[in-house]
């Protein structure tokens, strides 16, 4: 089991420049979690001792406002790491994390990551690259809230789900339920429904439950990216 884990860990881009002995140490202190939808992994402001790698499933990062509304920071798919930035925030989590689709997750000790960062500048640079990517992604989200209308914001979300080399007709399956997609995009469910209908009218698209069929992906790109500072396929695209 540990050997398989070592293999999994060393395949992660973040750990590419770390030594075999670091991969071994991480694996020996790893726990594999099998978590159901709705499970809260940690909460905002709690003491952070572990960080996490998603093997499969989806994880929602969020905060709660004083009146109980959820502000979604991100919804992460497989191969994403989370909880690691607590190192730079007095070992406190700056968000809560909840499983939104049944997930297998590797839990790893934060102190080991911290000491490796302190002695391995290549790991530090990999982490900074990933943080810079996250910053660009958030800037793009802020821009989207200002300049894209609701149908265009849905279009941008859909473009993240397709292979950028695809052309012609495409079929997209929403990765999680529509209410969650709406929250992820900072919309009320009713706004999302209306905007999806408007998008259908703008481009030739059929909606069947969670499956969307688009006749020509170029129409979606032209409609979505016309009021954006990036051109498709942009650096900021990621699920």
Positions that interact with a second copy (CB under 8 A): 44, 63-67, 69, 71, 73, 85, 87-89, 94-95, 117-122, 124-125, 127-129, 131-136, 138-139, 141-143, 145-147, 186, 225-231, 235
Q: Take residue 166 and report the two structure tokens written for it.
A: 């695809």
Tell me how far, at minimum, the Cβ of 24 lies from a second copy, in Å: 21
Beta bridge partners of 101: 58
Q: Take residue 184 and report the two structure tokens written for it.
A: 């992820």
* First-residue to last-residue Cα distance in the chain: 30
Residue with Cβ nearer a second copy (94 or 239): 94
Residue with Cβ nearer a second copy (34 or 64): 64
Write down the H helix ranges in 17-119: 20-28, 110-119
Tell me how far, at minimum, the Cβ of 165 lies from a second copy, in Å: 21
State the burial class of residue 10 (Cβ atoms within 10 Å of its Cβ: 0-12, 13-18, 19+): middle
Beta bridge partners of 172: 212
Tell me how far, at minimum, the Cβ of 174 lies from a second copy, in Å: 20
Tell me how far, at minimum, the Cβ of 131 lies from a second copy, in Å: 4
Residue with Cβ nearer a second copy (85 or 102): 85
Residue with Cβ nearer a second copy (117 or 205): 117
Write down the H helix ranges in the chain: 2-11, 20-28, 110-119, 121-147, 150-159, 178-184, 189-202, 217-225
Tell me how far, at minimum, the Cβ of 148 lies from a second copy, in Å: 9
Residue with Cβ nearer a second copy (32 or 131): 131
SS3 state at 212: strand
């Amino acid at each position: 089991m540990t050997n398989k884990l070592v293999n999994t860990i060393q395949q992660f881009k973040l750990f590419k420049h770390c030594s075999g002995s670091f991969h071994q140490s991480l694996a020996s202190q790893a726990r594999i979690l099998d978590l159901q939808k709705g499970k809260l992994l940690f909460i905002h402001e709690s003491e952070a001792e572990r960080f996490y790698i998603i093997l499969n499933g989806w994880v929602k990062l969020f905060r709660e406002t004083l009146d109980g509304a959820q502000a979604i920071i991100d919804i992460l798919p497989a191969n994403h790491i989370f909880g690691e930035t607590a190192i730079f925030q007095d070992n406190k989590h700056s968000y809560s994390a909840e499983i939104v689709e049944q997930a297998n997750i590797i839990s790893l000790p934060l102190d080991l990551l911290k000491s490796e960062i302190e002695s391995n500048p290549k790991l530090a640079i990999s982490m900074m690259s990933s943080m810079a990517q996250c910053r660009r992604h958030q800037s793009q989200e802020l821009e989207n809230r200002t300049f894209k209308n609701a149908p265009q914001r849905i279009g941008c979300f859909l473009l993240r789900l397709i292979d950028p080399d695809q052309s012609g007709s495409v079929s997209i399956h929403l990765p999680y339920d529509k209410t969650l997609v709406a929250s992820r995009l900072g919309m009320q469910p009713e706004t999302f429904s209306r905007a999806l209908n408007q998008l259908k009218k703008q481009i030739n698209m059929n909606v069947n439950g969670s499956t969307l069929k688009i006749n020509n992906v170029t129409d979606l790109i032209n409609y979505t990216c016309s009021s954006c500072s990036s051109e498709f396929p942009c650096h900021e695209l990621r699920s």
